[in-house]
Amino acid sequence: MAGKTDKIVVFDSGVGGISVLRELIKLMPGENFLYYGDSANAPYGDRATEDVRRLTLQNAQMLLGRGVKALVVACNTATSAAIDQLRQAYPDAIIVGIEPALKLAADRFPTGKIGIMATQVTLREEKLSQQLARFPNAQVVKIPAPGLVELIEAGRADAPETKALLQDILTPYIGKLDALVLGCTHYPFVKDAIAAILGRQTLLLDGGEGTARQTRRLLEQADLLNDGQGSVTVANSLGTPELLKLSYTLLDK
């Protein structure tokens, strides 16, 4: 049986899920969080779906167990490829998977032009098609961003080369989108650069806050919310000092 002081484990392919961890901490400061990034295997987004599924299940097996009350999959790619299999494998666990914030965008602009920027896996998977089918009146364009996750993993979110890459990717959409959904948890770390390119006419949305709210809802239903001191531990499959330093820098950003 899980207990209130048990940990909420937050998982991503790398450092991106820290953008979700920030929202979780904001909403539930009294909880004990363990963040785990699989940077040794990042990026997941260019891999075969089978591969992402295998890595996600392997990591979940390592992370779930005693002392854990919930798993937050803070990776859109892993959610697309493996959330159903995770729920089958752990039917009693509280598992929350982040999804692109398309509903937020479509509620705001039901017939509007909405961009979704995400990894190759997220853009091609069935999960996204199912989500899109719910908003038939919105005009949605899929925008891949190859190379962006690698730059963020390398601690180069604010580097000129990252701005140049974003400029290349987004220039065709300047003045053309009502909203842009950041469908990868790494992208909120370059939100300012994206906003500088697309300007005020494009609303930028991500699923971090919604995921945090859903996690709190499920914990509340299970009477597992904790109101303690709160703690955050960060771990990574690439346990280098640089990567751990980057993780804490992104957490404080």
Would you tell me which residues interact with ligand DGL (CB under 6 A)? 12-14, 16, 42-45, 75-77, 119, 122, 149, 184-186
In this complex, which beta carbon is closest to ligand DGL, that of residue 140 or of residue 151? 151
Catalytic residue among 9, 42, 75, 148: 75
User: Shortest distance, CB of residue 120 to ligand DGL, whole angstroms?
Assistant: 8
Angle at the Cα of 57 from the Cα atoms of 54 and 58, rounded to 5 degrees: 80
In this complex, which beta carbon is closest to ligand DGL, that of residue 34 or of residue 117? 117
64: tokens are 């779930």
The amino acid at 134 = R
State yes or no: is 75 an active-site residue: yes
User: Shortest distance, CB of residue 74 to ligand DGL, whole angstroms?
Assistant: 7
User: Shortest distance, CB of residue 14 to ligand DGL, whole angstroms?
Assistant: 6
In the bound state, the residue with its beta carbon closest to ligand DGL is 45
Catalytic residue among 86, 94, 184, 219: 184
In this complex, which beta carbon is closest to ligand DGL, that of residue 56 or of residue 202? 56
User: Shortest distance, CB of residue 186 to ligand DGL, whole angstroms?
Assistant: 5
What residue has token string 């640089």?
242
State yes or no: is 102 an active-site residue: no
In this complex, which beta carbon is closest to ligand DGL, that of residue 42 or of residue 224? 42
Torsion of CA 145, 146, 148, 151, to 10 degrees: -170
- β-pairing, 7-12 with 68-73? parallel
Long-range contacts of 58-66 (CB under 8 A, 24+ apart): 59/11, 60/11, 60/86, 60/89, 60/90, 61/89, 63/9, 63/11, 63/34, 63/36, 64/9, 64/90, 64/93
Dist CA 245 CA 243 (whole Å):
5
Active site residues: 75, 184
